[in-house]
Structure 1
């Protein structure tokens, strides 16, 4: 019987593959036999890779590339192709958000939200996905196969609920607003997914979006978590291990007739 979930020997590129989500995606793919090229802003030695991905350093390599720099993406993709062949999978994972405890201007009211933060987030989260898809997806289209996986957020489907952050102003005495840029960038991926899905459908390249909800990290204030969980029908955050299998599904032939779709893993947050 054919194993439709088999990804043995497939070549996958994961942008931002050293971060929290990216590490999980890389592990899921490499543990199941894929060769994974991580695109990051600096390379890593095999020893460093082995430390982060125990037992997987033969199947994981890190290539220097910036998702905002097309020339670096071309050079890195050329090297991956020379090393392992034309990629089968692109996981557009690299992304940034305003830091809750960073520069206060990052979380200032919309009326005075600085353009520089808008530019930073949009350039990385949206333009970066476009450039990676353009460079790597075109190689896939030439080869007549491939799967592009966009990494989205529930805030790409619904607006951030500012009530979740009200405790910050009460506690700190200063306005705290979840910024517009992250939500705008992730909602843009919805139609970028549909665009690429229809554009490359006849060339065998599928493009799908995965919309993730809140994942347990231990880095959020208790007040936020308590308020957030009241709005999640399942009553809990996701475990990070729950996010990897969906990426394997989209990288495999199990999803061979799926393109232009948005798969939502948010515990029901957007169902209410």
Structure 2
């Protein structure tokens, strides 16, 4: 008989817009472990990026997610929400409670990408990227704390950073600044929520092939990776699997790196 260690728990996973993305793999993993999952997406962001939105649309993405799950797995509900709007994070958490009666886990895997260097930098893009990546993540944590029944087990929040601390990202200043902020702030909500039995950690997934790289970049990075390949979304899902499990209850306020040794390059 298949075991579902997360049965009875409710997760919010943000950024579930594309089948190739990390958030899709995380949502599939958590639901496959038995959690009920509220998947947030914002398709217009992907549509304006070079890689584009999922060619079949986000509704198909959610249906594909449901189709892949084994019998007895968790349920999937979906909400499209733009984290550029200040009310959106609370609406997403509230949607999980409305759908499933509770919330126990938030995996803030969404991100606004921005390719502005110093010469192209605008205040509007800085403000928007901070609003989506930093404000959105912290307001998710705030609403989670406000509405969660903390007598329930397994309170978990997972934030996402990037590799900005390994080297310069001169063409992605708004993105790098926002991801650096999330890495540095993680200890503060972790300290605020520790007494309530909630852990807060941050994940750096390293270079993950989610369909944004062209062939030249894919080959270049793969040659520089100590393990000779890019990360896969499933590699990140493996770490999230542990971070939301009962076995991670003593881990909080940390940034965990799952990058195949990318940071070991010399």
After TM superposition, the structure 1 = structure 2 runs for residues 106-255 of structure 1, keeping only pairs within 5 Å, are 106-108=115-117, 110-140=118-148, 142-143=150-151, 146-155=155-164, 157-160=165-168, 177-255=170-248
Residue aligned with 2:218, SS: helix
CA distance in 1, matches of 2:92, 2:215: 41
Deviation of the 1:58 alpha carbon = 6.3
Normalising by structure 1, we get a TM-score of 0.79
Residue aligned with 1:132, SS: helix
Shift in alpha-carbon separation, 1:218–1:23, aligned structure 2, 3 A: closer
Deviation of the 1:160 alpha carbon = 3.4
Q: Can you give the 5+ residue segments of structure 2 that lack an aligned partner in the other structure?
A: 44-56
After TM superposition, the structure 1 = structure 2 runs for residues 23-42 of structure 1, keeping only pairs within 5 Å, are 23-41=24-42
1:13 alignment partner in structure 2: 12
Shift in alpha-carbon separation, 1:45–1:107, aligned structure 2, 3 A: closer
> What whole-Å deviation, never above 9, does each CA across 1:5-45 have from its counterpart, x for those lacking one?
92122100011123311111110011111100012348x99
2:80 matches 1:84: no
> What whole-Å deviation, never above 9, does each CA across 1:87-142 have from its counterpart, x for those lacking one?
110001111112xxxxxxx444x144222222222111111111111111333375
CA distance in 1, matches of 2:60, 2:219: 40
Which structure has greater helix proportion? Answer: 1
**Number of equivalent positions:** 244
Over the aligned positions, Cα root-mean-square deviation in angstroms equals 2.7
Deviation of the 1:265 alpha carbon = 0.9
CA distance in 1, matches of 2:65, 2:240: 19
Residue aligned with 1:209, SS: strand
Residue aligned with 2:204, SS: strand
Answer whether contact 1:141 1:200 (CA < 8 A) is retained. no
Q: Can you give the 5+ residue segments of structure 1 that lack an aligned partner in the other structure?
A: 99-105, 162-176
Answer whether contact 2:42 2:80 (CA < 8 A) is retained. yes
Shift in alpha-carbon separation, 1:246–1:48, aligned structure 2, 3 A: closer
Residue aligned with 2:17, SS: coil
Deviation of the 1:182 alpha carbon = 1.1
